Amino acid sequence: MKFVMTLIAATIIAAPAIAAPDGATLYQEKTCWSCHGKDGKKTLTPAFPKIAGQNAAYAEQQMKDIKSGARANGQAAAMKGVMELVNDEEIKALADYLSKLK
């Protein structure tokens, strides 16, 4: 039994840490930049919001609402397909990244 516990402990310690998703990388990979601009400031059209510096909690909730369908106004339809490509952890990383853009 002691051997099994030692083996389990060693496995946990040796397991590589799972890195949190990187918001900047996701912003590029999920093509956010194509509508919101490479810096979140210069959008494709005036109808799309500038998102640089947005409050992280607000941005996260808006993305979750678009994904769930709770928000279906304005340009939400344009984002619905993109939001299907991200999970909640990635949404949080994107929101944190956007909040740090100035």
pLDDT-based confidence at residue 101 (cuts at 50, 70, 90) = very high
Q: What is the pLDDT of residues 53-79, one digit of tens each?
A: 999 999 999 999 999 999 998 888 889
pLDDT-based confidence at residue 18 (cuts at 50, 70, 90) = confident
Q: How far apart are CA 92 and CA 44, in angstroms?
A: 23
Q: How far apart are CA 38 and CA 27, in angstroms?
A: 9
The total of other beta-carbon atoms located within 10 Å of residue 66's CB is 23
The CA-atom distances, in angstroms, between 66 and each of 8, 9, 13 are 42, 42, 39
Question: pTM of the entire structure?
Answer: 0.79
pLDDT of residue 20: 81
